[in-house]
Amino acid sequence: MIQTENLTFYYNESRKILEDVNITFEKGNLYAILGASGCGKSTMLSLLGGLLLPKSGKILYEGENISEYGLDRHRQDHVAFIFQGYNLIEYMTVEENVELTAKQPPQTALQKVGLEKELWKQNVLKLSGGQQQRVAIARALASDKPVLLADEPTGNLDEDSAQAILDILRKSAHEEGRCVIMVTHSLALAAGADEICRYADAKFQHGDYGLSLFTKPENPWETISVIQEEKAGEINA
């Protein structure tokens, strides 16, 4: 559904963040992206979501280059973001934030993410980090786009809430046929994904993560179908 072709990106030419990446994300799947902090996961999501232009290579949505389709339209029609920093509009209430791009009643989405009803009319800044995050998720869900790009959507949630969100995202992929791409640091969460993508930059190859999957610098992205429990343990250590 959404795929990259020889995608290369850098902020400074001296430090490539993505080099010749070829990867495909299909609809109906929940993907987890793992990788060290600062390695370029958010950048990857931005590229997929049409917030950044590739330096070379292309990003295809249903076979069509999104640059040709128009990044504006791509964002408008295809992708919904859940940002790492929530990115809510400060002067709006919970409901109003969700309503911004909602295709369905904001209340449904807010209910889905389990946000208490009495918070709905509150200004978003009065909410805790975890609550804000749920607003951001509700906003993405309500916008009803085929691709959901989630950047650490559970970073500020406790274990149970995180699992609940994971369920929502999974359902959204499986039942509503979306393509959900989730960046996470939590292997436990990643374990719940249909597929895990690992990213390792050649220059960051310290081996700290101890995962055999972290290798080929010329092709830092790999797709695997399962993650082994003991390796997950290594990462957490």
Partner 1 sequence: MAKKRIFLSLIRRKSNWCMCLLMAILATLIFTGALIWQASSQSIKELEKTYGSSFKLASYADRSNPDLWEYKVFDENYSATIYIGPRVSLEMLERISGEIDGIANYEWENKEDLMNNHILLVQMGFQLVPGFSASTAKIEEENYKQWKKGAISDQDWQTYYERYYKDSKYDIYDTVAYGLNNSQYSTHFRNGTFRLVSGRHISPSDYHVAMVTPTFAKLNGLKIGDTIPLMVSPLNASTSFASGVLGTVDAVIIGMFEPTYEQPVNEYTSERDILNNWILIDLKTCSEMEKISGWSGETSLATIYVDDPSMTGDIMEQVKRLDWLDKHYYGVEKDDSSYHEAAAPIRTLRLAMGAGIAILAASGAALMYLILKHSIGRRERETGILMALGITGKSIKRQLLTENLILGVIAFLFAVGIANAAAPMLGDSLLHTLSPKEEMREYTKEEIDAAIAREDYEAYTKMTSPQTKGIEAPDTLSVHTSPFSILVTGFGMAILICLCVNEAMEKTLRLEPSRILSMIA
Ligand X SMILES: Nc1ncnc2c1ncn2[C@@H]1O[C@H](COP(=O)(O)OP(=O)(O)OP(=O)(O)O)[C@@H](O)[C@H]1O
The residue count for binding Mg ion (CB under 5 A) is 2
Count CB-CB contacts under 10 A for residue 220: 26
Does position 172 bind Mg ion by CB under 5 A?
A: no
Does position 108 bind partner 1 by CB under 8 A?
A: no
Contacting Mg ion within 32-51 (CB under 5 A): 42
Contacting ligand X within 78-137 (CB under 6 A): 84
Which is closer to ligand X, CB of 35 or CB of 50?
A: 35
Does position 154 bind Mg ion by CB under 5 A?
A: no
Q: Give the interface segment with partner 1, choosing from 95-103, 127-135, 194-202, 219-227 (CB under 8 A).
A: 95-103
In this structure, the dihedral spanned by the alpha carbons of residues 194, 1, 40 and 189, taken in order and rounded to 10 degrees, is -20
Interface residue with partner 1 among 51, 191, 213, 235 (CB under 8 A) is 51
21 contacts which partner out of Mg ion, partner 1, ligand X, none, CB within 5 to 8 A by kind? none
- Pairwise CA distance, residues 155 & 50, whole Å: 23
Does position 9 bind partner 1 by CB under 8 A?
A: no
